[in-house]
Amino acid sequence: MSSGIKIFSYLPNPRVWKSLIAANLCGAEVEVVGDEPKNLPNWLWDYDARELTEDDRANSALIRKGRRGFTNDLYKTDEFLFAHPFGTVPAAFDLKTKSGIFESNSIMRAVARSGKPNNLFGGNDHVMASRIDSFLDVNLVFSREHQVYILSVEKMNEVLYNRMKSAYEFYLDGIESALKVNKFIAGNFISLADISFVCDVGYFLKEVNQKDVIKAQGFELISAKFKDEYPQSADHLVGLSRKEEFSTVITDGFISL
Protein backbone atom coordinates (compact mmCIF):
# COMPACT_ATOMS: atom_id res chain seq x y z
CA MET A 1 0.00 0.00 0.00
CA SER A 2 1.40 3.38 -0.96
CA SER A 3 1.93 6.26 1.43
CA GLY A 4 -0.56 9.08 1.23
CA ILE A 5 -3.95 10.41 2.29
CA LYS A 6 -7.51 9.68 1.15
CA ILE A 7 -10.16 12.37 1.73
CA PHE A 8 -13.96 12.08 1.64
CA SER A 9 -15.86 15.37 1.55
CA TYR A 10 -18.48 17.51 -0.09
CA LEU A 11 -17.03 19.07 -3.21
CA PRO A 12 -15.83 21.59 -4.14
CA ASN A 13 -14.50 22.41 -0.70
CA PRO A 14 -11.83 25.09 -0.02
CA ARG A 15 -10.90 23.19 3.13
CA VAL A 16 -9.91 20.21 0.99
CA TRP A 17 -8.00 22.53 -1.34
CA LYS A 18 -5.57 23.11 1.54
CA SER A 19 -4.42 19.51 1.30
CA LEU A 20 -4.29 19.51 -2.49
CA ILE A 21 -2.14 22.66 -2.53
CA ALA A 22 0.15 21.15 0.10
CA ALA A 23 0.41 17.99 -2.02
CA ASN A 24 1.38 20.08 -5.04
CA LEU A 25 4.14 21.72 -3.02
CA CYS A 26 5.59 18.57 -1.44
CA GLY A 27 4.79 15.80 -3.91
CA ALA A 28 2.44 13.89 -1.61
CA GLU A 29 -0.23 11.48 -2.82
CA VAL A 30 -3.79 12.63 -2.12
CA GLU A 31 -6.95 10.87 -3.27
CA VAL A 32 -10.24 12.80 -3.01
CA VAL A 33 -13.74 11.37 -3.37
CA GLY A 34 -17.09 13.05 -2.77
CA ASP A 35 -20.03 14.89 -4.22
CA GLU A 36 -22.04 18.10 -3.95
CA PRO A 37 -23.23 18.84 -0.39
CA LYS A 38 -26.85 18.09 -1.25
CA ASN A 39 -25.86 14.63 -2.50
CA LEU A 40 -23.82 13.42 0.49
CA PRO A 41 -26.92 11.94 2.20
CA ASN A 42 -26.94 9.54 -0.77
CA TRP A 43 -23.45 8.28 0.03
CA LEU A 44 -22.14 5.66 2.42
CA TRP A 45 -19.66 7.43 4.70
CA ASP A 46 -16.75 5.02 4.98
CA TYR A 47 -13.08 4.56 4.11
CA ASP A 48 -14.40 3.20 0.80
CA ALA A 49 -17.06 5.90 0.49
CA ARG A 50 -19.51 5.33 -2.36
CA GLU A 51 -23.05 6.04 -3.44
CA LEU A 52 -25.65 4.09 -1.48
CA THR A 53 -27.11 0.83 -2.73
CA GLU A 54 -30.63 -0.33 -1.95
CA ASP A 55 -29.17 -2.77 0.59
CA ASP A 56 -27.38 0.10 2.32
CA ARG A 57 -30.62 2.09 2.58
CA ALA A 58 -32.38 -0.92 4.09
CA ASN A 59 -29.68 -1.33 6.75
CA SER A 60 -30.96 0.66 9.74
CA ALA A 61 -27.63 0.18 11.57
CA LEU A 62 -26.02 2.60 9.15
CA ILE A 63 -28.47 5.47 9.71
CA ARG A 64 -27.19 8.42 11.75
CA LYS A 65 -28.84 11.72 12.50
CA GLY A 66 -27.41 14.52 10.36
CA ARG A 67 -25.65 17.39 12.16
CA ARG A 68 -23.68 20.52 11.31
CA GLY A 69 -25.19 21.51 7.99
CA PHE A 70 -27.01 18.24 7.24
CA THR A 71 -30.69 17.93 8.15
CA ASN A 72 -31.21 14.56 6.44
CA ASP A 73 -30.32 11.20 7.91
CA LEU A 74 -26.83 10.12 6.90
CA TYR A 75 -25.42 6.64 6.36
CA LYS A 76 -22.16 5.97 8.20
CA THR A 77 -20.39 2.72 8.98
CA ASP A 78 -19.19 1.89 12.49
CA GLU A 79 -15.66 1.83 11.07
CA PHE A 80 -16.09 5.39 9.81
CA LEU A 81 -17.24 6.61 13.22
CA PHE A 82 -14.41 4.78 14.95
CA ALA A 83 -11.94 6.59 12.68
CA HIS A 84 -13.88 9.87 12.88
CA PRO A 85 -15.54 10.18 16.30
CA PHE A 86 -17.05 13.59 15.45
CA GLY A 87 -18.53 12.19 12.23
CA THR A 88 -17.82 15.22 10.07
CA VAL A 89 -16.30 15.96 6.67
CA PRO A 90 -13.74 16.49 5.32
CA ALA A 91 -12.78 13.06 6.63
CA ALA A 92 -9.30 11.81 5.82
CA PHE A 93 -7.64 8.43 6.15
CA ASP A 94 -4.04 7.35 6.05
CA LEU A 95 -3.73 5.03 3.05
CA LYS A 96 -1.48 2.57 4.92
CA THR A 97 -3.27 2.25 8.25
CA LYS A 98 -6.77 3.62 7.46
CA SER A 99 -6.44 5.73 10.61
CA GLY A 100 -8.78 8.72 10.62
CA ILE A 101 -7.57 12.31 10.46
CA PHE A 102 -10.05 15.16 10.85
CA GLU A 103 -10.13 18.97 10.71
CA SER A 104 -8.80 20.55 7.55
CA ASN A 105 -5.60 21.95 9.05
CA SER A 106 -4.69 18.60 10.59
CA ILE A 107 -5.39 16.82 7.31
CA MET A 108 -3.17 19.36 5.55
CA ARG A 109 -0.39 18.67 8.09
CA ALA A 110 -0.69 14.93 7.45
CA VAL A 111 -0.35 15.52 3.72
CA ALA A 112 2.76 17.67 4.21
CA ARG A 113 4.34 15.03 6.46
CA SER A 114 3.62 12.25 3.97
CA GLY A 115 5.39 14.06 1.11
CA LYS A 116 9.06 14.39 0.38
CA PRO A 117 11.09 16.29 3.02
CA ASN A 118 9.88 19.87 3.14
CA ASN A 119 9.47 22.92 5.35
CA LEU A 120 5.73 23.38 4.92
CA PHE A 121 5.10 22.30 8.52
CA GLY A 122 8.45 23.44 9.93
CA GLY A 123 10.37 20.23 9.23
CA ASN A 124 12.77 19.34 12.03
CA ASP A 125 12.72 22.86 13.47
CA HIS A 126 10.34 22.28 16.38
CA VAL A 127 10.16 25.97 17.29
CA MET A 128 9.20 26.92 13.73
CA ALA A 129 6.73 24.03 13.57
CA SER A 130 5.08 25.36 16.74
CA ARG A 131 5.04 28.89 15.33
CA ILE A 132 3.26 27.62 12.21
CA ASP A 133 0.82 25.71 14.42
CA SER A 134 0.13 28.92 16.33
CA PHE A 135 -1.06 30.61 13.15
CA LEU A 136 -3.12 27.54 12.28
CA ASP A 137 -4.78 27.55 15.72
CA VAL A 138 -5.93 31.16 15.26
CA ASN A 139 -6.97 30.35 11.71
CA LEU A 140 -9.15 27.53 13.04
CA VAL A 141 -11.11 29.94 15.27
CA PHE A 142 -11.68 32.21 12.27
CA SER A 143 -12.75 29.24 10.15
CA ARG A 144 -15.17 27.95 12.82
CA GLU A 145 -16.87 31.33 13.14
CA HIS A 146 -17.11 31.52 9.36
CA GLN A 147 -18.90 28.18 9.24
CA VAL A 148 -21.51 29.40 11.75
CA TYR A 149 -21.81 32.68 9.83
CA ILE A 150 -22.46 30.89 6.53
CA LEU A 151 -25.12 28.62 8.01
CA SER A 152 -26.84 31.58 9.67
CA VAL A 153 -26.57 34.17 6.91
CA GLU A 154 -30.30 34.17 6.11
CA LYS A 155 -31.26 34.62 9.77
CA MET A 156 -28.47 36.90 10.92
CA ASN A 157 -28.54 38.57 14.30
CA GLU A 158 -26.25 41.05 16.00
CA VAL A 159 -24.52 38.48 18.20
CA LEU A 160 -23.56 36.20 15.30
CA TYR A 161 -22.51 39.13 13.14
CA ASN A 162 -20.30 40.65 15.83
CA ARG A 163 -18.69 37.30 16.63
CA MET A 164 -17.73 36.87 12.98
CA LYS A 165 -16.51 40.45 12.70
CA SER A 166 -14.38 40.06 15.81
CA ALA A 167 -12.83 36.79 14.57
CA TYR A 168 -12.18 38.31 11.14
CA GLU A 169 -10.46 41.38 12.58
CA PHE A 170 -8.44 39.43 15.14
CA TYR A 171 -7.11 36.98 12.56
CA LEU A 172 -6.34 39.53 9.87
CA ASP A 173 -4.79 42.04 12.28
CA GLY A 174 -2.28 39.33 13.17
CA ILE A 175 -1.65 38.27 9.58
CA GLU A 176 -1.15 41.90 8.54
CA SER A 177 1.40 42.39 11.32
CA ALA A 178 3.27 39.23 10.36
CA LEU A 179 3.46 40.20 6.70
CA LYS A 180 4.90 43.61 7.50
CA VAL A 181 8.13 41.95 8.66
CA ASN A 182 8.22 38.66 6.70
CA LYS A 183 7.66 37.68 3.09
CA PHE A 184 5.49 34.80 4.25
CA ILE A 185 3.25 34.49 7.28
CA ALA A 186 5.45 32.40 9.58
CA GLY A 187 8.85 33.48 8.27
CA ASN A 188 10.90 33.58 5.08
CA PHE A 189 9.40 30.51 3.37
CA ILE A 190 5.93 29.36 2.39
CA SER A 191 4.26 27.19 5.02
CA LEU A 192 0.95 25.62 5.93
CA ALA A 193 0.02 28.95 7.52
CA ASP A 194 0.06 30.58 4.08
CA ILE A 195 -1.95 27.79 2.45
CA SER A 196 -4.63 27.88 5.13
CA PHE A 197 -4.77 31.67 4.95
CA VAL A 198 -5.38 31.65 1.18
CA CYS A 199 -8.11 29.03 1.32
CA ASP A 200 -10.00 30.32 4.36
CA VAL A 201 -9.77 34.05 3.70
CA GLY A 202 -10.38 33.57 -0.02
CA TYR A 203 -13.46 31.54 0.86
CA PHE A 204 -14.65 34.20 3.29
CA LEU A 205 -14.47 36.84 0.57
CA LYS A 206 -17.33 35.01 -1.14
CA GLU A 207 -19.39 36.84 1.45
CA VAL A 208 -19.95 39.35 -1.35
CA ASN A 209 -22.28 36.83 -3.02
CA GLN A 210 -24.62 37.24 -0.02
CA LYS A 211 -24.44 41.03 -0.07
CA ASP A 212 -28.15 41.60 -0.68
CA VAL A 213 -29.22 39.06 1.95
CA ILE A 214 -26.90 40.58 4.55
CA LYS A 215 -27.89 44.17 3.78
CA ALA A 216 -31.61 43.32 3.87
CA GLN A 217 -31.10 42.35 7.51
CA GLY A 218 -29.42 45.64 8.36
CA PHE A 219 -25.76 44.58 8.22
CA GLU A 220 -22.79 45.48 6.03
CA LEU A 221 -20.29 43.13 4.44
CA ILE A 222 -17.57 42.44 6.98
CA SER A 223 -14.98 42.16 4.22
CA ALA A 224 -16.13 45.26 2.31
CA LYS A 225 -12.88 47.17 2.99
CA PHE A 226 -10.53 44.18 3.00
CA LYS A 227 -8.10 45.62 0.42
CA ASP A 228 -7.89 48.99 2.15
CA GLU A 229 -7.74 47.76 5.74
CA TYR A 230 -5.40 44.82 5.11
CA PRO A 231 -3.24 45.71 2.07
CA GLN A 232 -0.39 43.32 2.93
CA SER A 233 -2.84 40.46 3.36
CA ALA A 234 -4.64 41.31 0.11
CA ASP A 235 -1.38 41.37 -1.86
CA HIS A 236 -0.26 38.09 -0.28
CA LEU A 237 -3.58 36.45 -1.07
CA VAL A 238 -3.50 37.46 -4.72
CA GLY A 239 0.20 36.67 -5.15
CA LEU A 240 -0.08 33.15 -3.78
CA SER A 241 -3.32 32.39 -5.62
CA ARG A 242 -1.52 33.02 -8.91
CA LYS A 243 1.16 30.42 -8.23
CA GLU A 244 0.65 27.23 -10.21
CA GLU A 245 0.49 25.05 -7.11
CA PHE A 246 -2.48 27.13 -5.94
CA SER A 247 -4.17 28.17 -9.20
CA THR A 248 -4.54 24.59 -10.46
CA VAL A 249 -6.50 23.73 -7.32
CA ILE A 250 -8.58 26.89 -6.82
CA THR A 251 -11.15 26.28 -9.52
CA ASP A 252 -14.16 28.48 -8.81
CA GLY A 253 -12.52 31.90 -8.73
CA PHE A 254 -13.53 32.67 -5.17
CA ILE A 255 -10.71 35.20 -4.82
CA SER A 256 -12.11 38.33 -6.46
CA LEU A 257 -10.16 41.42 -5.44
Query: Over 60: is that where the pLDDT of 2 sits?
Result: no
Say yes or no: domain 126-247 is CATH 1.20.1050.10. Answer: yes
Quick check: 115 and 26 in contact, CB under 8 A?
Answer: yes
At 1 the pLDDT is: 40
As a whole number, the mean pLDDT across the chain is 94
Using 50, 70 and 90 to split pLDDT, how confident is the model at 251?
Answer: confident
At 257 the pLDDT is: 65
Contacts of 176 (CB under 8 A, 6+ apart): 230, 231, 232, 233
For 52-61, 66-75, 180-189, 240-249, which range has the lowest pLDDT when averaged over its residues? Answer: 66-75
Query: Over 90: is that where the pLDDT of 68 sits?
Result: no
Q: Is 135 helix (H, G, I), strand (E, B) or coil?
A: helix
Angle at CA of residue 256, ends 251 and 257, nearest 5°: 145
Q: Provide the residue ranges of all domains of the chain, joining segments of one domain with +.
A: 5-114, 126-247
- The architecture CATH gives domain 5-114: 3-Layer(aba) Sandwich (3.40)
Q: Is 245 helix (H, G, I), strand (E, B) or coil?
A: helix
Using 50, 70 and 90 to split pLDDT, how confident is the model at 96?
Answer: very high
Query: Over 80: is that where the pLDDT of 126 sits?
Result: yes
**245 C-beta neighbours (distance < 10 Å), count:** 16
Report percent pLDDT > 70 for the chain.
Answer: 96
At 176 the pLDDT is: 98
Using 50, 70 and 90 to split pLDDT, how confident is the model at 256?
Answer: low
How confident is the model over 16-51, as pLDDT tens digits? 999 999 999 999 999 999 999 999 999 999 999 999
| Cα(102)–Cα(150) distance, integer angstroms | 21
Hey, which residues does 92 pair with through a beta bridge? 7, 101
| Cα(132)–Cα(204) distance, integer angstroms | 21
